[in-house]
Amino acid sequence: MVSAIQKNTPRSTARGVIVLRGATSGRAATGVHSKGLPKAATEVTLAGPTLDELMTRTTAVKSVLDGVGRAVRQAEDTQRPVKLTIMVQPDRSAPTVDVETMAAASDDLDLALAEARTRGAARASEILSSPDMLSADGFAQLIGVTREAVRQKAARHEALGLQGAKRGVRYPTWQVTQNGSLLPDLPQLFAVLGGNPWAVYRFLTQPHATFKGKPPLEALRNGAVKPVLEAANGVTQGDFG
């Protein structure tokens, strides 16, 4: 049961209360107590023109009180805070009332992680769809070996293969040097960076101070293995250049 009570005071100083008794859910809503109200009632105080306006518009009263009642029941059922939003329309139609359960801290973290994974998957898909990313067959043709040989090279970390959610494994063409060979000492770079192909990709393609703000890829393509491995070691130790 939800009831509204207006006190007999002048219009400019009108006071009133809205009492939620929770009869529809079989429970009383706990909250602020006031003299003359049931012990387990929730009291919301309205003042002046706000109360007067509501009391002369029955549709507005019903919408607001129904929304507050839904919010109370939802908070009780979910045991979580509930956000109540009342949208008042300029055409004086009944207000729109939205009830939203607020996320717990753990839910916020889960949501943030899920969003991060979604962004990461979208970025990976974008990278793998670029023209310089070849399938195993295409990469095998590029370096003059069989598809199985490409697979074995990737397993030994002699070739960089990037796994995607939908496109399968893709091989960047830039790991083939000007003389047609694969990047030198790539297995050592894998070992330094924990054996993760995406970690190797990020390291090789992101700017690094050691190489004057340029990615390490070009240095490795030119045979500068030692400075590249030293820079990779720095990354694993927290020095991101």
Per-residue pLDDT tens digits for 177-222:
988 899 999 999 999 999 999 999 999 999 999 999 999 999 999 9
Query: For residue 112, is pLDDT > 80?
Result: no
**Angle subtended at Cα 112 by Cα 111 and Cα 114, rounded to the nearest 5 degrees:** 65
| Burial class (CB within 10 angstroms; exposed 0-12, middle 13-18, buried 19+) of 151 | middle
Higher pLDDT among residues 241 and 13, named by residue: 241
Q: Which two tokens stand for residue 147?
A: 């598809």
Confidence (pTM): 0.52
The pLDDT of residue 7: 39
Three-state DSSP class for 182? strand
